[in-house]
Amino acid sequence: ETTLPLPARTRIFTISNQKGGVGKTTTVVNLAAALARSGARVLVIDLDPQGNASTALGVEHREGTASVYDVIVNDAEMADVVQTSPDQSELFCVPATIDLAGAEIELVSMVAREQRLARALRTYLDEIPEGIDYVLIDCPPSLGLLTINAFVAASEVLIPIQCEYYALEGLSQLLKNISLIEKHLNPKLQVSTILLTMFDSRTNLAHQVAEEVREHFPKQVLETIIPRSVRISEAPSYGQSVISYDAASPGALSYLEAAAEIAKRGAPR
Ligand code: ADP
Ligand code: MG
C-alpha cells in the first residue's frame, strides 16, 4: 500500500458537470476510496437526491435517515449525520435521501440560501479533532441551488469529461457559471482538475476527445485517464468502491493513480 502526501489544509472539491451520466458519482466514490486507501481522511457529501454515492459507499440512506437534507434545510449539525463507509476505515459520508428532492424549492425562500452547506461544513471541519484531508461533493446534474451550495462550499472544481460524442457540449456554459460563482459568491473557487473518464482506447473518437480536452485545458487535465470498465460499473451494486471490489482491476488502478496525481499536485494557489 502506498501513502501519499497529505494536504496542509482540507481540500474541498465539488465534482460537477451539468450533464448526467458522465461519471460524476463514480468519480466521487472511487477517488474518495482511493485517497482513503492511501492514508487520507476523506468525507463525501452526497448532494444528489438520487443518493447514488450513498448507495455506492454502502451507507444507510432510506427516506427519513438523518442526511444532508437536515443539514441544509433544518440546521442539523453535520457531525450528527456523518456515517462511516464500510468501504474504508477513513472514509466518511454525509448521505442524501429522497427528501433532498424538495430542498431545491425549500431553499428558495431561506436566508443565505447559497451558503448553507458551506457554513455547516466549515463548522464541522473546525470542530472535528482528527481533521479531514479531502472533502468531495457529489452534485446533481443541474445548476440549481444545491449545486450552487456545492460551489460555494468548495475551493476546487473537478470536472469529469466522458470521452464520447458531445463531450464538450455544455462545458462553456458550466465554466461561465463557475466564473459567475467565483465573481459573486466564492472568490476562492477554481477549476483545478479535469478527469477524462469512460475512455475506450479502441475508438479514434475517444483519442480525439482526449486530445481536444488536453489542448483546451493543458494545466487541469490529469495524465491519468479512467478506462471504460465493467468492474467500475459493477461495484456500486455491491455497495463498494471498485478499489474494494477488485483492487487489481484496471479501473481500480486508474482511480488510485488519479488520486496520487491529485495528492502530488497539491492545492492550486
Ligand atoms: P453521473 O453521476 O455523472 O450521472 P455516474 O457516475 O452515475 O454518472 O455514471 C453513469 C453510469 O456509467 C453508471 O452506470 C456508472 O456505473 C457507469 N460508469 C461510470 N464510469 C464508468 C467507467 N469508467 N466504466 C464503465 N462504466 C462507468
Ligand atoms: Mg450522479
Q: How many C-beta neighbours within 10 Å does residue 256 have?
A: 24
Tell me the three cell numbers of residue 155.
475551493
For the Cβ of 196 lying below 6 angstroms from any atom of ligand 1, the answer is no
**Nearest alpha-carbon partner for 239 in 51, 73, 101, 97:** 51
Rg (Cα) of the chain, in Å, rounded? 17
Residue 6 phi/psi, 5-degree rounding, is: -95, 145
pLDDT at 56 over 70: yes
One-letter identity of residue 149? N
**Nearest alpha-carbon partner for 173 in 218, 203, 197, 141:** 141
pLDDT of 167 reads 79
- Distance separating alpha carbons of residues 251 and 230, to the nearest angstrom: 8
For the Cβ of 232 lying below 6 angstroms from any atom of ligand 1, the answer is yes
pLDDT of 269 reads 84
**Percent of the chain residues past pLDDT 70, beyond the cut:** 99
Domain locations in the chain as residue ranges: 11-265
111-125: pLDDT as tens digits: 999 999 999 999 999
* Mean of all residue pLDDT scores within the chain: 95
pLDDT of 170 reads 82
Confirm whether the ipTM is greater than 0.85. Answer: yes
* CA count, 13 A, side-chain hemisphere, 139: 29
For the Cβ of 38 lying below 6 angstroms from any atom of ligand 1, the answer is no
Class of domain 11-265: alpha beta
pLDDT of 103 reads 95
Q: What is the DSSP string of 107-165?
A: HHTSTTTTTHHHHHHHHHHHH-TT--SEEEEEPPSS-SHHHHHHHHH-SEEEEEEESST
For the Cβ of 140 lying below 6 angstroms from any atom of ligand 1, the answer is no
27-46: pLDDT as tens digits: 999 999 999 999 999 999 99
**What angle do helix axes 24-37 and 250-265 make, rounded to 10 degrees?**
70
pLDDT of 1 reads 52
One-letter identity of residue 200? D
pLDDT band for 165, please (50, 70, 90 cuts). Answer: confident
pLDDT band for 2, please (50, 70, 90 cuts). Answer: low
Q: Which atom number of ligand 1 is nearest to the Cα of residue 160? A: 3
pLDDT of 168 reads 82
Q: Which ligand is nearest to the CA of 26?
A: 1
Atom 14 (ligand 1) nearest CA: 233
Distance 80 CA to ligand 1 centre (A): 30
Ligand 1 pocket test, candidate residues 26, 234, 257, most atoms within 8 A of CB: 26
**Nearest alpha-carbon partner for 109 in 142, 66, 73, 140:** 73
For the Cβ of 67 lying below 6 angstroms from any atom of ligand 1, the answer is no
pLDDT of 124 reads 98
Report whether 15 contacts 138 (CB < 8 A): yes
Q: Which ligand is nearest to the CA of 140?
A: 2
208-251: pLDDT as tens digits: 999 999 999 999 999 999 999 999 999 999 999 999 999 999 99
Q: What own/partner pairs with CB < 8 Å and gap ≥ 24 does 100-103 have?
A: 100/47, 100/48, 100/49, 100/51, 100/67, 100/68, 100/69, 100/72, 100/146, 101/49, 103/49, 103/69, 103/72, 103/73, 103/145, 103/146
70-108: pLDDT as tens digits: 999 999 999 999 999 999 999 999 999 999 999 999 999
